[in-house]
Amino acid sequence: MKRTKSKPVKKAAKAAPRTKAEQRAETLEQILDAAEYLFSKHGLYGVTLRDVAQKVGVHTSLMHYYFEDKFALFKEVFVRRAAVTSERRMKALDQYEKEVKGKPTVAGALHVFLDTDFDLYMSGGEGWKNYGAFGSQLSNTPEGGAMFDEHFDPVVLRLIGLLKKALPGIPEEDIFWGYHFVTGSFMHSLSRSGRLDRLSSGLCKSDDLKAIKARMADFMAAGFSALKK
Amino acid sequence: MKRTKSKPVKKAAKAAPRTKAEQRAETLEQILDAAEYLFSKHGLYGVTLRDVAQKVGVHTSLMHYYFEDKFALFKEVFVRRAAVTSERRMKALDQYEKEVKGKPTVAGALHVFLDTDFDLYMSGGEGWKNYGAFGSQLSNTPEGGAMFDEHFDPVVLRLIGLLKKALPGIPEEDIFWGYHFVTGSFMHSLSRSGRLDRLSSGLCKSDDLKAIKARMADFMAAGFSALKK
DNA sequence: ATTATCTATAGATCTATAGATAATGC
DNA sequence: ATTATCTATAGATCTATAGATAATGC
């Protein structure tokens, strides 16, 4: 199963970068973008450093100039945007709690947690879409586990805290299970795998994040209410 | 990131198989089991034919005797159990519809669809658990899409049909979106990634399919009810 | 003077095939 | 006589490094 190689993405007539620092930053970003795209399609082991270099339009050995090895590149792809989304969500949850004066609802907290990220993936450009697919693959992977923990657990625990406040009668483990369902659906949505398109004969498009955002938080909030026995 | 090689799994003192057909079947099964395990950990590209051969305890070239190439082996791992689960679920849904005399409920249909499979993964032994992790990785992958479609769409459309009956007022696309959420959570559960264990400080175990089965169908059924506007 | 990029290449896999050997089957 | 398994090996990558060249920086 030979994969079709993608065309180099580097601009033919690149405006000469002024300083070395700028050039470094530019090349780094191009490498990370190319790697992100390729990893999102084929995973860590399905991409070679040569693939990445070719897509950027530079020599393979440059990969080792900027990154220790392939796994270091992979981790950097993960970390680069993980910091952005975590911070955004954390701030949004802080603000939400302030707005509701410490009395959150399940639907409210879920809307903030999910919609904030959906907005980012919807309007952040190709890079963020690729990152979503990249992360969704990783999330169902043993290798991915540890990376998610380190970078996302703080925000997730922030959300869990709000859900506990909103659901005082519910056993803690039920809230974790509820979150487990939420994150599975959310990650699957970011994969935009195209399965739903074929399953529904085109009625729904799996890359229609707007449609998903419009439904997901309320769907899940209702689910939480079913945990009350 | 060198992975630790797993020990060969072949019995030291294997009871000599009687016929060639039996021997063939036995070896095939060992190869598929080993491949299933390894693919579930590292994905298609993260496993070499040599890895599989070593785990079985035979020579690499035997892989090519039994399978055209690596992808053929991968597909066979997928197909082997896909047929089993699809048929089981299909029968269970048929029986359910008969029992309720053509008047299904959302919760009822989801319980049959999900619990039937959870039972299989819970009591089917190591092989089925590995297959669950294998499939969950695949489900968020572009490569996986097409394979799922072919083998699972019929049962899924059977479920969708029941949900439509149970929710006559709801637009068809909402039902597909609801299913999208269900399958994301379900597949994530089969990954048993261990993330939830760490997130919840051990309160929940991601391989506790019994706990998931006890909550998921009702959680999702409540979610569907939120789609009514 | 320092840093970004490329050339050349070693060493380690990996896939796949041809052909030999060992075990079952009439 | 046929089929299961192994030996040996070709050819194609892949990662990683050493050292050269080209571009910026004082």
User: What angle, rounded to 10 degrees, do the helices at B209-225 and A172-191 form?
Assistant: 70
Dump strand ranges (E) for A6-103: none
Cβ within 8 Å, pair A188-B187: yes
Determine the pLDDT at residue B63.
Answer: 97
Give B181's contacts in chain A (Cβ within 8 Å): 185, 188, 215-216, 219-220
Query: If you count DSSP H runs as helices and E runs as strands, how many of each does chain B have, helices first?
Result: 11, 0
Say which residue the tokens 């070679």 belong to: A48
Cβ of A100 near strand C (distance < 7 A) = no
Give B149's contacts in chain A (Cβ within 8 Å): 195, 198-199
Cβ within 8 Å, pair A184-B180: no
Range of lowest pLDDT (A99-103, B6-10, B17-21): B6-10
Closest Cα partner for B221 from B157, B152, B163?
Answer: B163
Mean pLDDT along residues A97-119: 97
Mind listing the pLDDT tens digit for each residue in B77-134? 999 999 999 999 999 999 999 999 999 999 999 999 999 999 999 999 999 999 999 9
The torsion angle over the Cα atoms of residues B32, B35, B40 and B44, rounded to 10 degrees, is -120
Question: Protein footprint on strand C: which nucleotides are under 7 Å from a CB?
Answer: 3-8, 13-19, 23-25
Rounded CA gap, A135 and A77, in Å? 10
Mind listing the pLDDT tens digit for each residue in A145-166? 788 988 999 999 999 999 999 9
Rounded CA gap, A27 and A206, in Å? 32
- Assign B18 a pLDDT band (cuts: 50, 70, 90): confident
CATH of domain A77-226: 1.10.357.10
| Cβ contact B43:A140 at 8 Å | no
Q: Does B20 touch chain A (CB under 8 A)?
A: no
- Assign B16 a pLDDT band (cuts: 50, 70, 90): low
A-B C-beta contacts closer than 8 Å: 198
Whole-angstrom CA distances from B43 to A29, A62, B14, B141 are 27, 27, 30, 10
Looking at the C1' of nucleotide C24, which residue has the nearest alpha carbon? B20
Instruction: State the pTM of this model.
Output: 0.92
Half-sphere exposure of A66 (CA within 13 A, CB side): 24
Q: Phi/psi at B14 (nearest 5 deg)?
A: -80, 130
Nearest CA in chain A to B154: A199
Whole-angstrom CA distances from B92 to A123, B98, B117 are 43, 10, 10
Which residue from B71, B157, B189 is facing A1, i.e. has the nearest CB?
A: B71
One DSSP character per residue, B72-122 reads HHHHHHHHHHHHHHHHHHHHHHHHHHHHTTT---HHHHHIIIIIHHHHHHH
Mind listing the pLDDT tens digit for each residue in B20-48? 889 999 999 999 999 999 999 999 999 99
Determine the pLDDT at residue B93.
Answer: 98
